[in-house]
Amino acid sequence: MSDTELWARPATELAELIREKSVSPVEILDSVLDRLDAVEPTVHAFITVTDDLARAEAAAAAERARRGELIGPMDGIPYSIKDLENTAGIRTTLGSMFFTDNVPDTDSVVAGRLRSSGGVLLGKTNTPHFGYKDMADNLVAETTVNPWDPTRTVGGSSGGAAAAVAAGLGPLAQGSDGAGSIRIPAALCGVVGFKPSFGRIPVHPGREYWSHRTHNGPLTRTVADAALMTAVMAGDDDRDALSLTSELGEFLPPPPSAHPLAGRKVRWSPDLGYGLVSAEVARVVAGAVQGLAELGCEVEEKVPGWEDPSSFHRVIYTSQIAAGIGPLADRHPEWIEDTLMQLISVGRSFSAVELKTAEIQRGALYNAARSLFEEIDFLVTPAMPLVAWPAEPGPGLREIDGTPLPPHMGRSYAVNPFNLTGQPAITVPCGWTEAGLPVGVQIVGRRNSDIDVLEFAHVLEQHLALTDRWPALP
Amino acid sequence: MTARSGHPPDRRVPPGEPAVQRQFPGRFEPGWFSFRPLCGSMVGMQPDLCE
């Protein structure tokens, strides 16, 4: 691959090329659409490709660039939106047979912000039914597969987004993360996935403004691109009652030096004290942790100290699914995947008191996490305890190195606690297994420390120097 | 200014209209990442999954 191919450039570089008039947004789009023609028939990242709209948006951006009137650094940059997000005039299926022909009249908050950034929308990326699981198959579209090994899953629920970025189909992808759904596919696809603090990017339309765990965020190939897209999407909006009113701040990573992270206190835990983790994944992530030590961090390997939240998280998660999707399932059970139907059934088995008890336990987890972060700056874990598993629709592999996962524990046990606490968390590619599958390291920061997490991750990313590696697609 | 946020109300302009015209500096200089579009008015309701 030539280093001049535009589809392979990060958004930060493309923005500078556009601004200095070295490259037109139309040229960038042409490059990305050529790449899409070549690899999308294999990867199936998109449910809907909006190429006509993209050409019009790129032409408009090119004219703004010519006049020196660029809106901002996303102007003219190709991006994608997950198909859970309403987009005016563009089919929005939610990965659901109930919404195969749904065309919203209006944009969601985040879709509207991206649209008015001047970015070039490539299309809507694949998601499991209403984003319910950590894979990207549904009854609506082709299953999205992993660009690093098309026999394996891309992860989910922002699986199409991760596949698009990993395959070079736009450097920026919007995703959403209610129980790991940005970080899971990012880790399995070797890209960056950032879940900002709860409320940093508004969620609207939505339904559970007072008790939900959903976070919007970016999937990108570099941390700087994640910071760029976060800056475009962040900012409170009264339609999301819990959106944050504090400013995001400026992404200004420290300049290169011998020990740019000197004095930062890092807690490293391969399994949080209660999970299973693949030995090879733990070894690869430990290499990144060694890198943090070389950069000056004070690293301590120790469990965070809280109880496994999997059991009460399951109550919250499944009861939400039962309440939200159950009535639809009653109407058309044939449009509901078996695994989703099982979750609805589990959710319906819990009482109101059990749900409220789970919410109280969620509060206790927040207290424990807050106390821990009085002692440390960052918690570091593997983002996923295993690499991408076979892509066949269904429940997916539920064992690690031959040991079955406990029935109550999901594959996402390392990422979903921070949906419950609302802390910012990012996954950054940190290596590949001998079989060539990517591994991601998760970095968790204090609530509202989004920029600190991004800058810290950027320094690690620069140290690891892995961003030039691409999957062997056509 | 809105009561909650302190942001000027003109953040909510229709998508597609130029929001901020910023001559942003280099990639890691102040101002480059602070851009935020002024948008969000074209927002409707998610299809109600329970209807």
Interface touch B43/A204, C-beta < 8 Å: yes
Q: Do A106 and B43 touch (CB under 8 A)?
A: yes
- Please tell me if residue B8 touches chain A, with a CB cutoff of 8 Å: no
> Which residues on chain A are in Cβ contact (under 8 Å) with B38?
116
- Asked whether the CA dihedral A317, A318, A319, A322 is positive or negative, the reply is positive
Whether A115 has its CB under 8 Å from any CB of chain B: the answer is yes
DSSP state of B32: S
Q: Across the interface, do B49 and A227 touch by the CB < 8 Å criterion?
A: no
Chain B interface includes A219 (CB < 8 A):
no
- Tell whether pTM > 0.90: yes
Judge contact between A26 and A59, C-beta under 8 A: yes
pLDDT tens digits, B19-46 = 444 557 788 888 777 665 544 333 333 3
Contacts of B31 in chain A (CB under 8 A): 250
Query: Which residues of A are less than 8 Å from B25 in CB distance?
Result: none
- For chain A, say whether B9 makes contact (Cβ under 8 Å): no
Show me where the domains of chain A are located: 6-310+351-464
Q: Say how far apart CA A458 and CA B27 lie, in whole Å.
A: 13
Put simply, the chain A residues between 246 and 285 with a CB less than 8 A from any chain B CB are 250-253
Q: Whole-angstrom distance between the N-terminal and C-terminal Cα of chain B?
A: 37
Q: Do A115 and B39 touch (CB under 8 A)?
A: yes
Check CB contact under 8 Å for A16 and B19: no
Catalytic residues of A: 82, 157, 181
Our CA-based measurement puts residue A238 at a distance from the nearest CA of chain B, in whole angstroms, of: 7
Tens-level pLDDT at each residue, chain A (474 residues): 445 699 999 999 999 999 999 999 999 999 999 999 999 999 999 999 999 999 999 999 999 999 988 888 999 999 999 999 999 999 999 999 999 999 999 899 999 889 988 999 999 999 999 999 999 999 999 999 999 999 999 999 999 999 999 999 999 999 999 999 999 999 999 999 999 999 999 998 877 778 788 899 999 999 999 999 999 999 888 888 899 988 898 899 998 899 999 999 999 999 999 999 999 999 999 999 999 999 999 999 999 999 999 999 999 999 999 999 999 999 999 999 999 999 999 999 999 999 999 999 999 999 999 999 999 999 999 999 999 999 999 999 999 999 999 888 889 999 999 999 999 999 999 999 999 999 999 999 999 999 999 999 999 999 999 999 999 987
CA distance B36 to A210: 25
CATH of A6-310+351-464, one of 3.90.1300.10, 3.40.50.720, 2.60.120.460, 3.40.50.1000: 3.90.1300.10
Token pair for residue A293? 């030590």
Tell whether A73 lies on the interface with B, counting CB pairs under 8 A. Answer: yes
Q: Number of CB pairs < 8 Å for A and B? A: 140
Secondary structure, 3-state, chain A: CCCCCHHHCCHHHHHHHHHCCCCCHHHHHHHHHHHHHHHHHHHCCEEEECHHHHHHHHHHHHHHHHHCCCCCCCCCCEEEEECCCCECCECCCCCCHHHCCCCCCCCCHHHHHHHCCCCEEEEEECCCHHHCCCCCCCCCCCCCEECCEEEEECCCCCHHHHHHHHHCCCCEEEEEECCCCCHHHHHHHCCEEEECCCCCCCCCCCCCCCCCCCEEEEEECCHHHHHHHHHHHCCCCCCCCCCCCCCCCCCCCCCCCCCCCCCCEEEECCCCCCCCCCHHHHHHHHHHHHHHHHCCCEEEECCCCCCCCHHHHHHHHHHHHHHHHHHHHHHCHHHCCHHHHHHHHHHHCCCHHHHHHHHHHHHHHHHHHHHHCCCCCEEEEECCCCCCCECCCCCCCCEECCEECCCCCCCCCCCCHHHHHCCCEEEEEEEECCCCCEEEEEEECCCCCHHHHHHHHHHHHHHHCCCCCCCCCC
Predicted-assembly ipTM surpassing the 0.85 threshold: no
The answer to whether B1 faces chain A, any CB pair under 8 Å, is no
